[in-house]
């Protein structure tokens, strides 16, 4: 277990530096809001490294690659209780994600993408949403999804709407929607409503994205806004480069 923990730490620390960004390499495509996928994809030969620190000292590293035009694939791995003083550090099962942009959009129609997202959050919660000694997750994986995105009303304001079904089970059909607004390419305001099936299952997430460099952005957000002890603060940093 210690060896797995050390490998996870090295993975999270070194992956963003495995590739070198070209000068001025831009983060021009917002492939995610916070948890909600947009219809945008990385360009071919681009790579995105996303490191998220969230509840109970967990750290997740997600890597996505533009392997073909409009097609991205990626993998994610998380270490629970990695931050802080806990001795119970657990390397969680890796997950994968894939996205295919099937329509670029037009003057009147949104861009469309389909995909799969296996990432799960809220490790260690039981069915009553109480944090305890369990291997369950509070939030199911998004699973298969269909998403629509386009700029609306004013320049810089983008909206996304979609549906998803965890593990391809049509009985567990959810909706999601979100918006982000970029201000002078320096800061982005993020808002999304995820997991919409009933009020109890849904999540309102709010945040801000700070563009530290054309290839580097820092997100600060709150998930499950207004849910008391279930709310959590997250920080994540995203680095985009070419390979």
The CATH number of residue 224's host domain is 2.40.160.40
pLDDT of residue 132: 87
**What pLDDT, in 10s, does the model give residues 149-182?**
999 988 889 999 999 987 766 678 999 999 999 9
**What pLDDT, in 10s, does the model give residues 66-77?**
999 999 999 999
CA separation for the pair 220, 10 (Å, rounded)? 23
Dihedral sign (CA 118, 167, 146, 178) = negative
Structure tokens at 156: 């810089």
pLDDT of residue 102: 96
Residue 9 — very low, low, confident or very high, per pLDDT cuts 50/70/90? very low
CA separation for the pair 49, 239 (Å, rounded)? 5
In this prediction the pTM is 0.85
Expressed as residue numbers, the domain containing 131 is 2-242
Q: At residue 22, does pLDDT exceed 50?
A: no
For residue 82, with 0-12 CB atoms within 10 Å meaning exposed, 13-18 middle and 19 or more buried, which class applies? buried
**Domain count within the chain:** 1
């Amino acid at each position: 277990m210690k060896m797995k923990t050390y490998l996870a730490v090295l993975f999270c620390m070194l992956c963003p530096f495995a590739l070198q960004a070209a000068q001025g390499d831009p983060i021009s495509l917002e492939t995610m809001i916070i948890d909600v996928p947009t219809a945008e994809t990385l360009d071919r030969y681009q790579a995105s490294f996303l490191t998220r620190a969230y509840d109970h000292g967990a750290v997740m590293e997600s890597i996505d690659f533009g392997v073909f035009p409009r097609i991205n694939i990626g993998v994610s791995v998380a270490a629970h209780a990695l931050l802080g003083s806990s001795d119970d550090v657990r390397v969680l099962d890796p997950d994968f994600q894939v996205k295919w942009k099937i329509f670029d959009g037009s003057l009147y129609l949104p861009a469309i993408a389909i995909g799969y997202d296996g990432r799960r959050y809220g490790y260690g919660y039981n069915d009553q949403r109480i944090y305890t000694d369990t291997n369950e997750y509070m939030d199911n994986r998004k699973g298969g999804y269909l998403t629509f995105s386009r700029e609306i009303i004013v320049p810089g304001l983008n909206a996304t709407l979609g549906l998803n079904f965890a593990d391809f089970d049509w009985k567990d059909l959810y909706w999601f929607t979100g918006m982000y607004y970029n201000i002078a390419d320096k800061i982005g305001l993020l808002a999304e409503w995820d997991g919409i099936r009933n009020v109890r299952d849904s999540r309102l997430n709010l945040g801000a994205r700070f563009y530290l460099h054309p290839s580097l952005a820092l997100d600060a957000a709150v998930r499950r806004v207004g849910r008391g002890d279930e709310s959590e603060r997250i920080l994540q940093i995203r680095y985009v480069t070419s390979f």
